[in-house]
A and B are shown apart, each in its own frame.
Chain A
Amino acid sequence: ETGVTQTPRHLVMGMTNKKSLKCEQHLGHNAMYWYKQSAKKPLELMFVYNFKEQTENNSVPSRFSPECPNSSHLFLHLHTLQPEDSALYLCASSQDRGQGASGYTFGSGTRLTVV
């Protein structure tokens, strides 16, 4: 356990389904992030929340919709996804700028398969 918990660990969904990914941290961090990890590609930043406010949307398609109800919880709502959206979705949190002695704390991710 890293202190950042993601559920579910695995998800298979059809292109017409609606599902949500959940991320929870109780580390007292004030920033939370969604990253997408595809095979042999860099981690791609999707969304950033700082003190519950979205500070960055990295040109992500609207079929991905984030929600941050409080500084401990982060959701990623999914609808009408495409097969190329199949990937590992990682949540992370950090205190302040996430550099220095502590860095980011990542969850173990949700392995998403779109069929």
Chain B
Amino acid sequence: GQSLEQPSEVTAVEGAIVQINCTYQTSGFYGLSWYQQHDGGAPTFLSYNALDGLEETGRFSSFLSRSDSYGYLLLQELQMKDSASYFCAVRGQRDSSYTLIFGSGTRLLVRP
């Protein structure tokens, strides 16, 4: 089967840097994605890593190590609006279907 593990909650102060880790188990690997969801809102796509290394998009970066089945989302210069839940996701096992399997999410609280 497939599973993803990420911390349930992380707290950080405004202006700081925070890293949200994700470890996964999958029978086939097609890349790791990250999504952000504010309370009452829709999950929104943040980033995708298919190959090892760091992908940077503004204040957010995402890292992947396929040999370690591990990735992380790095948020820099934290702002209050970054308080949200963050989900890592991998594509489903069945190649014929276009499905994503999600982790339980990490709730990030940014304090002043």
Q: Which residues of A contact B (CB under 8 A)?
A: 2, 4, 31, 33, 40-43, 45, 48, 50, 55-56, 90, 92, 94, 96-109
Contacts and interface: CB of A to CB of B under 8 A. Distances in A.
B50 A99 contact: yes
Contact of B92 (A2, A45, A90, A107): A45
Contacts of A106: 35, 42-44
Given A4-B42, A98-B91, 10 more contacts: A33-B99, A40-B104, A42-B4, A48-B98, A50-B97, A50-B98, A90-B43, A97-B30, A98-B98, A99-B30
B87 to A, nearest CB: 7
Contacts of B41: 108
Nearest to A103: B45
Interface of B: 4, 8, 30-31, 33, 35, 40-45, 48, 50, 87, 91-92, 94, 96-105
Contacts, number: 75
A47 to B, nearest CB: 10
Contacts of A45: 92, 99-101
Contacts of B8: 40
B42 A43 contact: no
Nearest to A35: B102
A2 B97 contact: no
Contacts of B102: 42-43
B33 A56 contact: no
A98 B97 CA distance: 10
- List the 8 closest A-B pairs by CB distance, nearest first: A103-B45, A106-B42, A43-B102, A108-B42, A56-B97, A97-B98, A106-B43, A55-B97
B53 to A, nearest CB: 16
